[in-house]
Structure 1
Amino acid sequence: MSDTNGETVLLLGAGERSSELALAFRHLGADVVTVSDHGETQALTALIDERRPRYVVADAATVATDALIAVAERDDVEVFPTPRATRLSLDGEGLRRLAADELGLPTAPFWFAGSVEELTAIVAHAGFPMVVKPVAAAPGEGESVLLRPDDVEPAWRHATAAGNLKRVIAETVVEVDFEVTLLTVRTTGAAGPTVHFCEPIGHHQNDDDALESWQPQQLSPTALDSAKSIAARIVNSLGGRGVFAVELLVRGDEVYFSDVRPRLQDSGLVTLRSQRLSQFELHARAVLGLPVDTIMISPGAVEVSYPDGEGRAVPDREIRAVLADALAVAESDVRLFPATAAGDDDDVPWLSWSTATAQDPIVARDRARRVATAVRRLR
């Protein structure tokens, strides 16, 4: 077991998710330095030289990859995720070619286009419906569903406006039963790399943009074996240690690779209640080289309500009344955060994590929704 006492973790991230991860590292005896401004290579390199961390952990997509590559070449520091994994997480084309062409993972049929003309030719060949999205953007950003020829040019403009490159990926729409996130933990030890799997997490975005996720999402034994095989192959190819969120499409016994994020995701917040070790604790343990387990102690669900607009000033008495109603739901919990820094008299939008457990994931989902409904009164 590693001696973590006195070792410094430089955590590149901001927001409540990064705060939870920092706390998990501190609970294991690590000294944590959190940096929210991490997009400039020279400044990040200077900070690393000053702090001399043992570990550099990126919990954000917008990280100066050049600096991480340079730091990863040193003998006295480890970088997670690996620079290769960070780069591929920002390169949808490179990631898809790795998965389909090099690893042979099952995916929806896909093509890449660098102009409206190329996209038009692809659609003429593949037919409708198709999904078009940027090759480099956050999940869901710039995504469109094409149903007719008139949709092609607007979809191109939408995708390229959201992405960093004038290039898009076009996918055939595959009929699926549901999407799942398979949190996969990669560790290394004397016996070499090992992967551990959490129970599958189902999720979807509600009409009000709240994210709902639940665990477990039931898969057939055949589909679960396929999901684990796909996740292990892509995660081992990316390398490093930590939690990877592998996104999969499931139809009966068939499983298709969709995406992988080498960092924690909001869909994994359900593990705060459902597992013995949350995604934050698993990530911290794996990075520090400590033993992990992925034991689920109860089916659970979470609804993440994102702030919509500027919010309003909410008296403390009203906040307590709302929380009293929310926490009256059986086996529930709420984490409530101001989404912006503000003074006492300012209007503050609220971010909330509403979680619940039950003996059945359907009941857990219903409880989490009831908790979130109560909390939304703070908007």
Structure 2
Amino acid sequence: MTEMETAHEARTVVLLLGAGERTRELAPAFEHLGAQVVTADAVADAQTLTALIEQHAARYVVADLDTAEATNVATTGALHAIADRDDVEVFPTLRSIRFALDGEALRRLAADELGLPTAPFWFAGTVEELTAIGQHAGFPLVVKPVSGAPGEGESVLLRPEDVEPAWQRAVAAGAPTRRRVIAESVVEVDVEVTLLTVRTAGPAGPTVSFCEPIGHHQSPEGSLESWQPQQLSPVALDSAKSIAARIVNSLGGRGVFAVELLVRGDEVYFSDVRPRLQDSGLVTLRSQRLSQFELHARAVLGLPVDTIMISPGAAEVTCSADADARLVLGEALAVAESDVRVLRSEPPVRVSLATAPDPIVARDRARRVASALRRSV
């Protein structure tokens, strides 16, 4: 065997489960660190997963669970079967996966066990129970499925007659085996924030680092706007970091966690946490020295990370028809400090990015890029 072949055989192998756009963006981040990456669709059973690990001598298995319940259940079961192996590490941890797929358990962990501040909440398993919650708590209420993709199946209830449609919408968007919803009192907030929190290994044990807060807003048309940094008061920033550290350390493992927070003045409320990369974090492709993908790869491999923001930035994420954007790319990229990423998903996702000395200017530039791209649809 030649020296080059020996070096190739010694390369760290990362098995990425899931063929979505996040996996395609994450693979190069591992490869740039010298890892060999093998990608596979969601695995249906433990035997298939074990065969893949043995075939490629995988050292790390990194799963990106999608919103399909059947896929999640199959993949989680397969991961359980290999979790105790000494020669393989699984990311996220099985504990993280369990809470990511069960919003009811996650909220009880955050509020009841960890004592994190949250909006007042209740759970319902029938439309009658949801009706009773409305009578008890009053309106407005936010209702969403306990298990499902962020934002899907969510409604704001303003009156008793809104209960039945909100129930139907929530259970249709949630997992079929979990016909339960969460109802929350509406908390008046200034901004919704994603705090990307990186948990990795350090000389003295696990360490937690934070990116600058990312503000985000979902438009009625479905596009997601995010910007970094979102300025918080010193008190709110300390509270946000404390909340994020407590929930992430409770879940354990290594990697990037997207902690969702509601902020009003100095008050911060926990909303959600995802043990994976988030669309709002796509702004880091331009705003940070290391993007969320590079941070995740480093953390999984146990390497040092830094969360330095090199410039204020903004992004607009839009799902679009599969149209050729080349005719308007010139106009889009003529915007100062702009960039465009087209993620190969179904439907395609276009990410309009921009930086500027100020996040307000960066948001305006990103909007101009997105406006130009929309003219290609």
Q: Name the TM-score, length of structure 1 as normaliser.
A: 0.92
Matched, 1:326 2:324: no
**Residue 206 of structure 2: SS of its match in structure 1?**
strand
User: Are 2:309 and 1:287 aligned?
Assistant: no
Out of 215, 224, 233, which is 1:211 matched to?
224
Query: Is this contact kept in 2: 1:5–1:29, CA < 8 A?
Result: no
1:132 corresponds to:
143
1:200 is matched by which residue type in structure 2? P
Query: Which of 86, 89, 96 lines up with 2:97 in the alignment?
Result: 86
**1:299–1:361: 8 Å Cα contact kept in structure 2?**
yes
Counterpart of 1:110 in structure 2 is 121
Residue in 2 that maps onto 1:163: 174
Identity percentage of aligned residues: 76
In the alignment, the residues of structure 2 paired with residue 224 and residue 250 of structure 1 have an alpha-carbon distance, to the nearest angstrom, of 10
Of 5-14 and 228-237, deviating more is: 5-14
Separation of aligned partners in 1, 2:51 and 2:375? 45
- 1:181 corresponds in structure 2 to 194
Q: Deviations over 1:101-141 (max 9, x none)?
A: 00000000111111112111111111101111111111111
Distance 2:165 2:220 in 1: 23
Cα distance in structure 1, aligned partners of 2:146 and 2:267: 25
Equivalent position amino acid for 1:332 in 2: S
Per-residue CA deviations over 1:305-347 (Å, capped at 9, x if unaligned) read: 1124xx44x4xxxx4431111111000111124545xxxxxxx
Q: 2:108 aligns with which of 89, 97, 105?
A: 97
For structure 2, the 5+ residue unaligned runs are: 1-8
- Alignment-mate amino acid for residue 285 of structure 1: R
Q: Name the CA distance, whole Å, in 2 between partners of 1:243 and 1:323.
A: 31
**Aligned counterpart, 1:359:** 357
Matched residue, 2:288: 275
C-alpha distance in structure 1 between counterparts of 2:202 and 2:134, whole Å: 48
Q: Deviations over 1:15-64 (max 9, x none)?
A: 33211110000000101011123355543343334333100011233541
What is the CA–CA distance in structure 1 between the aligned matches of 2:47 and 2:126, rounded to whole Å? 34
| 122-131 or 223-232, larger mean C-alpha shift | 122-131
How far did 1:5 drift? Answer: 5.5
Q: Which runs of 4+ in 1 moved over 6 A?
A: none
Partners of 2:201 and 2:303 within 8 A in 1: no
Q: 1:56 aligns with which of 50, 61, 70?
A: 61
Q: Cα deviation per residue 1:209-261 (whole Å; 9 max; x = unaligned)?
A: 11110000010000000000000000000000000000000010000000000
Q: What is the distance in 2 between the residues matched to 1:234 and 1:213?
A: 23
Distance in 1 (CA, whole Å) between partners of 2:345 and 2:194 is: 25
For the pair 1:149 / 2:160, whether they are aligned, the reply is yes
| CA 1:5–1:189: 2 relative to 1, 3 Å | farther
The one-letter amino acid of 2:35's match is A
Corresponding residue of 1:343: none
- What is the letter of the counterpart of residue 230 of structure 2? Q
Query: For 2:230, what is the secondary structure of its paired residue?
Result: coil
Equivalent AA in structure 1 for residue 37 of structure 2 = V
Q: Give the TM-score taking structure 2 as reference length.
A: 0.92
Contact 2:224 2:316 in 1 (8 A): yes
Of 63, 75, 79, the match for 1:68: 79
Decide whether the 8 Å contact of 1:350 with 1:378 is kept in 2: no
Greater alpha carbon shift after TM alignment, 71-80 vs 13-22: 13-22
Secondary structure in 1 matching 2:62: strand
Moved more, 78-87 or 116-125: 116-125
Aligned residue in 2 for 1:46: 51
What is the identity, as a one-letter code, of the residue corresponding to 1:79? V
Shift of 1:350: 4.1
Tell me, yes or no, if the aligned pair for 2:21 and 2:345 is still in contact at 8 Å. no
Contact 2:235 2:266 in 1 (8 A): yes
C-alpha distance in structure 1 between counterparts of 2:145 and 2:79, whole Å: 24
In structure 1, list runs of 5 or more residues that go unmatched: 341-348
Once residues 232 and 146 of structure 1 are traced to their aligned partners in structure 2, the CA distance between those partners, rounded to angstroms, is 32
Contact 1:307 1:339 in 2 (8 A): no
What is the root-mean-square deviation in Å for CA atoms of aligned residues? 1.6
